[in-house]
Amino acid sequence: MVSKKVEKLLLKVQKPGRYVGGELNEVIKDKRNVDVRFAFCFPDTYEVGMSHLGMKILYSRFNLVDYIWCERVFAPWIDMEKLMRENQIPLYALESGDPVSDFDFIGFTLQYELSYTNMLNMLRLSNVPIYSRDRTELKNIVVAGGPCACNPEPIADFVDIFFIGEGEEVDLEVMEVFRECKAEGVGKAEFLERCAKIEGVYVPALYEVSYNDDGTIAAFTPKGDAPAVIHKRLMKNMDESYYPDNFVVPLVEIVHDRAVQEIFRGCIRGCRFCQAGFIYRPVREKSPEVINEQCKKLCMNTGYDEVSLSSLSSSDYSQIVPLLEKLTSWCGEEKVSISLPSLRVDGFTDEIMNKIKTVRKSGLTFAPEAGSQRMRDVINKNVRHEELMQTCATAFAGGWTTVKLYFMIGLPTETMDDVADIAHLGQDVVETYYQTPNRAKGKSVRVTISVSSFVPKPFTPFQWEPQDTIPTLHEKQAHIKESITSERVTYNKKLTYNYHDADTSFLEAVFARGDRKLSKVMALACERDFHFDGWNDCFSLQKWLDIFEECGIDPAFYANRRRSFDEILPWDHIDYGVSKQFLIKECQKAYNSTTTPHCRLKCSGCGAAQYGEGVCFEKRQNMV
């Protein structure tokens, strides 16, 4: 619902459909009949935010509770933001059209570090003070969750409560406490203290940090009763876990415009650069029966004719073929197609291919991540060169002609030869196409190699590693290009090479492993109208470097410094169920190019078995 004032602006901006709400299945309640109003803010555009599964799950879950009304808020694109500022229109929620400052909770999901400035900007557009300490009343409680909450420290001064781990239960527990406090007339400080007792809740204001002379952390001390370590929350039984049978169906096209069905959480693989592979442990699957039923309902209620099976690595679902059989038994009749993203190189079999082939033949995407076998062993990717070629041959024989390959540069121990091998691998795939006898006739192949820069992340075995400096990354990017043109020239046009900007990766590395000293940098960035740093339209590294300099902070301290195993890391007080000892062991194995088998082959003793559920307690095939 939009006000008359907003309506006047809508015809002056691009894609006004993202600012109006009114979609099929949006939840409208009477605000007089609810006790808690929750503004669910996604710090990016409507099209990006509406594609996010976590938001869909929590939106529906919250709204199931009678006394809660959860509404959606997205970051207005720069044209709309400008007009809103000029016309003194504060940020509003799509369902009611009410200003965000009216809400009890202002919740952010933090999916990537470069959205931090959007979070602060959205608070500012709402006329809500950005610093937690400046919001003194029991209202506008700013909460945040999502993967970036695993190192909350760079934004600890702004957020009242972080949710650590999966939010389905803990968020509701906090809202219940809020409702009690409101009824009792209790203030914000007392509310926060009560919340800190809930498992999975981190209240940064209840901790003090002291630093050594070299800038590293000396001590991290809880005040009062606050727990010394905050343990993550997780859903133990995925079959019984809440899943929406309905999505808000956008009026305008969004990034992932289809039904999404979650099939499991976590990943068995343990690729050493991958944060998701560690923080979502242990792997917990839904049964094929439950998935099938949820899928059906979702398609019926939304009208989507495409459903995507979502997980970190779809082909690792233990019953993938039976599941696809179940789904295809009705999908054809109902004219619903299935898409299976996040396929592993070694998971693309004939059987799977034939099941998803009834779907459109868009390009296939695989992520070998590194060019040389040595490098893939270092990162524990556990994909062999022959497997990749075999998979590509299977795809080419099945009629595919477009393959996209994702890689990373700047990985620990990487040499220029490893980098050149990225180019060689791309060329090998092109050659495989022409060696595949039953490939699509008369068609050319298109292989794209897409290269991003490695960002060391908390809770991974590489959390102590320095990131390559920007000049080194540029050198490596250029080296790939040279390696393509110098050899096997005939394949040039079939091979496309692109790479991600190293500047943004650098900033990402600073925030990912930053500490509380960065909050003044963030605040200054907010004051200077920074927003949409994840978008090339807006990002400027130079402007950031200026701010770092003004604040007397060296960003290289966070991004490019090798940390020692005994340093107190800014996120050490947070527990994701994976032990530091395990991460150290994995890091040392990486240096020796030793791989670790995945969870279904052998337990590596990471610590996630403490939850008593999931893959840790599956019967292993080699033990039967």
Q: Given the rule CB under 8 A, which residues bind other proteins?
A: 2, 8, 10-11, 16-17, 19-24, 249, 251-253, 257, 300-305, 335, 337, 360-361
Nearer to other proteins, 187 or 332 (CB): 332
Residue 98 Cβ vs other proteins, minimum distance, rounded to whole Å: 16
Place of tokens 């406090």: 181
> Toward other proteins, which CB reaches closer, 47 or 377?
47
For CA atoms 377, 379, 380, 384, give the dihedral sign.
negative
| HSE value, Cβ hemisphere, 13 Å, CA-based, for 422 | 34
How far is the CA of 354 from the CAs of 34, 194, 395, in angstroms? 50, 54, 10
CB of 358 to other proteins, least distance (A): 9
CB of 305: closest distance to other proteins in angstroms? Answer: 5
Between 252 and 568, name the residue whose CB sits nearer to other proteins: 252
Nearest to 498 by CA among 461, 541, 452, 540: 452
Q: Tokens in use for 92?
A: 């509003």
Q: Judged by CB, which is closer to other proteins: 238, or 259?
A: 259
Q: Residue 212 or residue 329: which is nearer to other proteins going by CB? A: 329
Q: How far is the CB of 8 from other proteins (least distance, A)?
A: 6
Q: 20 vs 470, which CB is nearer to other proteins?
A: 20
Cα 521 from Cα 36, distance rounded (Å) = 33
Smallest gap from residue 297 Cβ to other proteins (A): 12
Task: Give the nearest distance from C-beta 227 to other proteins in angstroms.
Answer: 45
CB of 422 to other proteins, least distance (A): 33
Residue 484, token pair as written in the block: 């393509």
Please name which of 577, 582, 574, 575 lies closest in space to residue 605, comparing C-alpha atoms: 582
Nearer to other proteins, 298 or 590 (CB): 298
Nearer to other proteins, 16 or 466 (CB): 16
Minimum CB distance to other proteins, residue 304 (Å): 7
Closer residue to other proteins in complex, CB, 2/271: 2
Question: Could you give the CA distance from residue 292 to residue 327 in angstroms, rounded to a whole number?
Answer: 6
Using an 8 Å Cβ cutoff, are 427 and 445 in contact? no
CB of residue 86 vs other proteins: minimum separation in angstroms?
A: 13
Where helices occur in 339-415 by DSSP H, the ranges are 350-356, 373-378, 385-397
Backbone dihedral region for residue 395 (phi beyond 0: left; psi -120 to 50: alpha; all else: beta): alpha
Q: What distance in Å separates the CA atoms of residue 70 and residue 104, rounded to the nearest whole number? A: 10
Q: How many residues are given for the chain?
A: 624
Which of these, 447, 372, 359, 459, lies nearest to 411 by C-alpha position?
372
Q: Does residue 211 sit in helix, strand or coil?
A: strand
Tell me if 94 sits within 8 A of 101, measured CB to CB: no
